[in-house]
Structure 1
Amino acid sequence: MKTIKPTKIGAYSSCKSELRSSEMGDLWAAYMGNSMSKCVLSYFLKQVEDKDIKGTLEHSLSLCEDFLGKIEKIFRSVNHPIPIAFTKDDVNLDAPRLFDDEFYLHYLRQMIRAGINLYALSVPLSTRTDVSEFFIQCVDETMKLVNILNDLLERKGASPKTPVIPVPEKASFVQNEDYFNGYLGKIRPLHALEIKHLFDMVGANSVNKALLFAFSQVSESEKIKQFFKKGEELIANTLETYTHYLTENHLPALPLLDHMVTTSKFSPFSDKLMLFHTIDLFTLRIRDIGNSIAENGRHDLGLTLFKKLTTVGFYVQDGAKLMLENGWMEKISHAPKWE
């Protein structure tokens, strides 16, 4: 049997083939996300006091810069324009502190989840050697960061752990359709995957709520400020709904993080960056809801999730319109238009 030798990550093979649509789109999305994260992490590093958290932020920032440089190299190999994305004009490193140190850990946890989702899904669709190797490196380095972050959260006593449930006495099968009930008849407790998704979505939305709370304090545009407040209200309603499903099953839910936002009124970020970030986070919530629907088995929870999907979708659409109004919506590559 032929042995496959491991490829040295980073030493990308020369590849003259054109970029496929999936590669072009995923590289563009990765560039936009890492460009935004570079601005955010640079500001966090100016404010952080905890040495352990600072080290993790520095490591995260170095990954962003490395990924950006490699994407630029691939784009230049096919004469693809480098996205404008975000620059030093989108961050004010001298702005006062807007978040407590612990918030940086919860924020990083959510952004890492977003990165892993993008990078992992990109690997099987990438056919160019350099692109495939790049996304494999992204997955590998991001997973290493996950372990570093989880260890730090544990040491700081801030690790968000899913609830413990009893181990079944034996393997068994569902006996009747009552298993799917949610409104009438006998309603079963939540199963393990339903608990996982609800718990995870509570954690993600708690970070989002605190972030929007902060953004609404410092935004310079009244219209965009109101958009952030609307999003905060949407999340508050969502958290109430998800938490209810957990508490009615006597399961714990994660607390809010709003107390980790300071009273500063000076924005460290441009409205463009904050609006893009908000849309990006809510887009991730759409993915979370979709994953939850796919593994749900109760009619009531399924309907609730479908309603949330619609609500979040309309909110993202409103945000996209604001980006368009302000001339901030950068265009991704698309198929040719035939006359």
Structure 2
Amino acid sequence: MENNYNHIRLTSAEMGKLWVTYTGNTMAKCVLRYYLQHIDDKDIKKVVKNALNLSEKLVNKIKDIFIQENFPIPIGFTDQDVNLGAPRLFSDEFYLHYLKYTSKAGMSIYSIAIPIMTREDIRDFFIKTFNSAVNLLNEVNKILIAKGYYEKSPQIPTPDKVDFIKKQKYLNGFFGDIRSLHALEISHLHDNIENNVTSKCLLIGFSQVSQTEKVKKFFLRGKELTNKHIEASTQQLHKDNLPSLPLLDDLVSTSTYTPFSDKLMLWHKIDMFSMKIRSYANAISLNGRRDLGAMYVRFLKDIGLYVEDGTNIMIKYGWMEQPPEAVDRKELAMNKE
């Protein structure tokens, strides 16, 4: 028997997660459609097509839910935000790194949504969406490995035995006897560097093609900020003679013709930097050294200020679409006729 959810209103959590998933995937549709205009490698073209098909499927499904719930359809991003005739901006290899990063970001959103969904149909939607993102990431990783582009996390020795931490100095990081990085710290340093080298590559491309001076300066500032975080994280790995990851800066072409609206590019980078907040917070939660904790706190401050400045630019130009929000009861009372 098919369940009927017409009598159950969407909760705030369901509205919010559906809204952000819809908006993000309208943006993804624009970006991926442009990428498909400039791909030579047939394997990479196939996975980009699969990613586009997934975004189109998600947008259509959420649109149906919104119509059923009499919920206003977000504008998101449309054909006006992409120029499919613009020259190539990125190499084929970059598309794989980009899809890996955005798949991880999507998995983060969808996994958090699942336990806070009340309606079974919405929860099932996010479970299926999460699984689709996992499958896409697996496909991307297989191609990265096959083509020699995959960067593994550093190797460390297998422990000889089970051991326990015996002294408080295990937490040291600034002074005294500082221990080597443990596996989880290495994992998150590597992951954050990987995210940042992809983000920096995108920022270089966006800064070349941005048409608004204020937005261009914002991207250039983001590039420097991201590079600073890459260098600081890399230094932590190098202290223990562990390898870092190569930059992807050379995967950007010399084109200065914009394939995307400044609205889309700015929203995209605010979204990516917002995801860094969660990634850095995850790293702090599994960290055991004071110096690394302090480093991530600095990173979070940098990102928080940067995202706020970007949001202010979006608001200034009338590009920031408002998500669903609670009623302002005080304003309601004051405006009573």
1:187 pairs with 2:178: yes
Match of 1:219 in 2: 210
The residue identity in structure 1 corresponding to 2:190 is F
Distance in 2 between residues matched to 1:195 and 1:80, nearest whole Å: 44
The residue identity in structure 2 corresponding to 1:170 is K
Q: CA deviation at 1:129?
A: 1.9
Q: CA deviation at 1:13?
A: 4.1
User: Aligned-residue CA RMSD in angstroms?
Assistant: 1.0
The residue identity in structure 2 corresponding to 1:105 is L
Match of 1:5 in 2: none
Distance in 1 between residues matched to 2:111 and 2:296, nearest whole Å: 25
Distance in 1 between residues matched to 2:274 and 2:307, nearest whole Å: 7
**Superposition pairs of residues 145-164 of structure 1, within 5 angstroms:** 145-164=136-155
| 8 Å contact kept, 1:52–1:152 | yes
Distance in 2 between residues matched to 1:219 and 1:212, nearest whole Å: 10
| Deviation sequence 1:226-285 (CA, Å, 0-9, x none) | 010000010111111000000111111111101000000000000000000010010011
Distance in 2 between residues matched to 1:214 and 1:146, nearest whole Å: 23
| 8 Å contact kept, 1:12–1:130 | no
**Corresponding residue to 1:307 among 276, 294, 298:** 298
Match of 2:239 in 1: 248
| Deviation sequence 1:170-206 (CA, Å, 0-9, x none) | 1111000010001111100000000000000001000
| 8 Å contact kept, 1:323–1:329 | yes
The residue identity in structure 2 corresponding to 1:81 is P
Distance in 2 between residues matched to 1:270 and 1:246, nearest whole Å: 38
**Corresponding residue to 2:5 among 11, 15, 18:** 15
Q: CA deviation at 1:14?
A: 3.0
TM-score scaled by length of structure 2 = 0.96
**SS of the residue 1:232 aligns to:** helix
TM-score scaled by length of structure 1 = 0.96
Number of paired residues? 329
| 8 Å contact kept, 1:206–1:256 | yes
Match of 2:21 in 1: 30
Q: CA deviation at 1:12?
A: 7.8
Match of 2:96 in 1: 105
The residue identity in structure 1 corresponding to 2:36 is L
**SS of the residue 2:174 aligns to:** coil
| 8 Å contact kept, 1:13–1:129 | no
In percent, how many aligned pairs have the same letter? 47
Segments of structure 2 that go 5 or more residues without pairing to the other structure are none
Match of 1:265 in 2: 256
| Deviation sequence 1:274-302 (CA, Å, 0-9, x none) | 00001001001111110011111101111
| Deviation sequence 1:79-125 (CA, Å, 0-9, x none) | 00010000000000000000000000000000000110011111111
The residue identity in structure 1 corresponding to 2:256 is K
